[in-house]
Amino acid sequence: MSRFSCFIVLLLCACAAAAPTISADEELCDDQGLAGGFHKADTSSSQTQDVAVAVADQFMSSDHNPLDCGEFAAVPLQACTQVVAGLNYEVLVNITCADGGSIVVLGTAFVGLPVDGKQQIEVESAEEVSP
């Protein structure tokens, strides 16, 4: 493999690992109506609320969290779902601390099919987005 090829591979890996490029006021999913794609989800549904809380919990317990607060509220600003063997979620969450600090986070999660009547939420990522 030539040095140039190695450079290109490393550059692509660095770009893939970069922080989310969406800002808090951009549309999360474009809802083009493509079969198998992401579609807008109802941010007031209980499942979307549960996903937002799970994303917030993961972000607040991560090393990337610049906030220092005990109690916080998580409000989904936007959400998109993709039907698979369950649902893939992309959710933009506003996290507000009880003492007034806040941050907007982009999270991805998988909500599996219910097992024994319980839904499992697996948060895959939770990263701060541009203001």
Nearest residue to 74 via CA among 105, 111, 100, 99:
105
Contact 69, 59 (CB under 8 A): no
Global pTM reads: 0.77
Q: How far is residue 46 from each of residues 50, 56, 67, 102, 112, measured CA to CA in Å? A: 6, 15, 26, 22, 15
pLDDT in tens, the chain (131 residues): 555 444 444 444 444 444 455 655 667 776 566 677 889 999 999 999 999 999 999 999 988 788 888 899 999 999 999 999 999 999 999 999 988 889 999 999 999 998 898 889 999 999 999 76
The rounded distance, in Å, linking the Cα atoms of 7 and 30 is 33
